[in-house]
Amino acid sequence: MNFDRNTVIGFVALALLFLGYFMYTSKEQRAFQAFKARQDSVAAAARPKVDPALAYADSVRTDSLRRAGATIGFTGDSSGVESRLTVSNKVMTITFSNRGGQPRGVELTGFKAPDSSNVKLGATAFDKLTYEVVSNNRTAKVEDLYFAGNVAKQADGTQTVTYRVQAPGGALIHQYIIHPDDYFIDFNLSVEGAPQLLQNNEINVTWQNRAVQAQRDLAYEKGQSFIAYREDGDYDYKGIGSGGDMNFKSLNWIAVKQQFFTSTLIAKDNFSSGSIDYKTGASDNPSDKTVVEAVAHLKLKLPASGTAPLALYYGPTDYKVLKKYGNDMKDLVNLGSGPFAFVKYINRLVIIPVWDQFKKLTSNFGIVILLLTLFIRLLTSPLMYPSYLTSAKMRILRPELEQLKKKYPDQQQYAMEQMKFTREAGVSQMAGCLPGLLQIPIFISLYNFFNSNVDLRGKSFLWAPDLSQYDSIVNFGVKIPALGDHLSLFTITAVLTSFFISLYSMRSTPTQDNPVMKYMPYIFPVIMLFIFNKLPAALTWYYTVSNIITLLIQFVITNWIIDHDKVMAKIEANRKAPKKQSKWAERMAQMQEQQKKLQEQQKKNRGI
């Protein structure tokens, strides 16, 4: 195996692994989009036509009758009219409703949605948290009860919202504790007179949540979203691509996780069991901004105290924020999963600490990425330098290799002579594969890091308005297969610099007769154009900088570090010295010799 083939192997391996990774992360979404389109079309055709005015009137009558029957025996807010109150801290504003005594929406004051309003979580008509109680032999849903509420503020800035509704023989109390600078809401659910209000002292909680588009590219956001949970002490998740349902036992928490935000319901003493059904929005309906819609049914055993300690988290998927809550909530930040789960340790132990240090130096996140790139290249330089050195030597030796190629036109004979020649020059035969293969775990770790790093959201750099999303300089107006409806400028810079690396590397190897081998290194940059076009600008900017560094290193080594005369003198000295092949070289030479003899025998058999 000669050097130019090793170089090609490196490029091919890198391309195939990149393709495999992106196919792995998106295959469920692609399959579901086709299924959902068919499903929505069938449902729309079969849906009966109803007069909107009649439907509205009927729903009002039904709702009134249901509430009148369900609330018999409960006294809270005697007006029977929904009222809302808002509570704010440094990071969010929460709207509470007396109907059901629950939050009706959270606005994150530090994050903007695509329409420039604050990002909202749990704020649609679909969102609710409810359960059933029994009064006067009737079953009532908590969502239909009107609670009496009040707000108390402590000296440290903590605010407590308490809702209470009285019932014969007991009462329901919902207490929410909002901390001054936190997204975490403590939620104490108390039932006084539980034997009269509950069956078997259990609460069957229904939690509904609809995640609404918070990123410019809804399809890409869906691909980065999932249902996450902690069951039996272990964290797990499932992508939303095909929709579905799951059953649980001993569930600590469950979350509807978008790309950068999450809505989470937590039972500090665990739900005894539960299930969840979820589906995505209609992909063929531009007005449907739903990322995923989930309904969880959870069974909660009420403790002897009568108070079940719960919690709610509506906020960003920030690794440092979630880590302090324990219970594997930090895993909501997808830093590596599936067959590439090992890269999360690269992110946690190396990338995140270094990133945090560089953030302290500048508020320009494009510069932070540049510094991170320099750090990674410095860290990997001991492993990469020998391959750069080999590439530079091969470029110097190219004239001699071209002469060998002319002298030995037979490919097998040429390969043996090339191996011998490069060994005498002190050139590693396998070093050509190393640069490409070493980039794979680093690239995948950074792919996950930049896709989940909420620090980048909304941060601009050069022409990119948001480093957490692709930077579009051309919008086609229509979707081009595999490419999308736009063209990213940072993707172009990454592709061009990759092409220059390929061009520079091929100048160090003899001319190829095989057109596939000859043009393969140039094909990889073209593949990158389709893979990278939808990726965050942060990642394509990193790749651009990394490629520029590679080109500079190779240029400096070739022109100022490698001495052509010394390399040739070493070759002459090695030729005169006693030869001792490695076992690998001996086996390779034997295999090539056997293959040569086999080809010669085949020619004789054919009468050539």
Report the 10 Å Cβ neighbour count for 268.
14
Q: pLDDT for 345-394, tens place per residue?
A: 999 999 999 999 999 999 999 999 999 999 998 888 777 777 777 777 77
Lowest pLDDT segment from 131-135, 240-244, 260-264: 240-244
Residues 453-470 have a mean pLDDT of: 93
Give the CA distances from residue 326 to residues 178, 321, 329, 348, 531, in Å, rounded to whole numbers and listed in that order: 19, 10, 6, 15, 35
Which segment of 251-255, 566-570, 589-593 scores lowest on mean pLDDT? Answer: 589-593
- Cα gap 205→189, rounded to integer Å: 11
pLDDT at position 60: 44
Is the torsion defined by CA of 533, 534, 537, 539 positive or negative?
negative
Give the pLDDT of residue 52. 42
**DSSP code per residue over 123-187:** -STT-EEE-EEEETTEEEEGGG-B-EEEEEE-TTS-EEEEEEEEETTEEEEEEEEE-TT-SEEEE
Q: Which residues contact 501 (CB under 8 A, 6 or more apart)?
A: 547, 550, 551, 554
In terms of Cα–Cα distance, which of 336, 313, 321, 316 is closest to 237?
336
3-state secondary structure of 37: helix
Q: How many helices (H) and strands (E) does the chain have?
A: 15, 20
For residues 542, 546, 551 and 554, what is the CA-based torsion angle, rounded to 10 degrees? 180
Please check whether residue 142 is in contact with residue 133, taking contact to mean a CB–CB distance below 8 angstroms: yes
- In single-letter form, the type of residue at position 253 comes to W
> Six-digit token pair at 221?
């956001």
Interatomic CA distance for residues 390 and 589, integer angstroms: 21
Q: What is the reported pLDDT for 287?
A: 84
424 neighbors 410 (Cβ within 8 angstroms): no
Tell me how far apart the alpha carbons of residues 597 and 602 are, in angstroms, rounded to a whole number: 9
| Mean pLDDT within 529-540 | 91
Q: Write the secondary structure of 368-381 as one string of H (helix), E (strand) and C (coil).
A: HHHHHHHHHHHHHH
Residue range 403-431: mean pLDDT, rounded: 71
For the stretch 87-91, contacts whose Cβ atoms lie closer than 8 Å and that sit 24 or more positions apart, written own/partner, are 87/151, 87/159, 87/161, 87/178, 89/157, 89/159, 89/178, 89/179, 89/180, 89/181, 89/182, 90/180, 90/181, 91/181, 91/182, 91/183, 91/315
pLDDT of residue 65: 40
Asked if the model's pLDDT at residue 506 lies above 80, the reply is no
Q: Strand, coil or helix: what is 196?
A: helix
Q: What is the pLDDT of residues 545-575, one digit of tens each?
A: 999 998 888 788 777 877 767 767 776 776 6
CA distances from 229 to 278, 319, 332, 334 (A): 14, 16, 9, 13
Q: What CA–CA distances, in Å, run from 586 to 411, 416, 432, 579, 592? A: 18, 11, 20, 12, 10
467 contacts: CB under 8 Å, gap ≥ 6: 365, 366, 369, 450, 456, 459, 460, 461, 536, 537, 538, 541
The pLDDT of residue 72: 57
Domains of the chain: 3-27+348-573 (no CATH), 50-334 (2.70.98.90)
User: What is the model's pLDDT at position 243?
Assistant: 77
Report pLDDT digits (tens) over 168-218: 778 999 999 999 999 999 999 999 988 888 888 899 999 999 999 999 888
Which among 503, 557, 546 has a CA at the least distance from the CA of 389? 557
**Sequence-distant (≥ 6) Cβ neighbours of residue 393 within 8 angstroms:** 425, 426, 427, 562, 567
- What are the φ and ψ backbone dihedral angles of 44, each rounded to 5 degrees? -65, -40
Longest CA–CA span in the chain (Å) reads 105
Burial degree of 193 (CB within 10 A; 0-12, 13-18, 19+): middle
Predicted TM-score (pTM) of this structure: 0.78
**What pLDDT does 172 receive?**
93
Burial class from Cβ neighbours inside 10 Å (0-12, 13-18, 19+) for residue 433 reads buried
At residue 247, the pLDDT reads: 92
- CA pair distance 198, 171, nearest whole angstrom: 11
pLDDT digits (tens, 9 = 90+) for 30-72: 444 444 444 444 444 444 443 444 444 444 444 544 454 445 5
Give pLDDT tens digits for 142-170.
Answer: 999 999 999 999 999 999 999 999 887 78
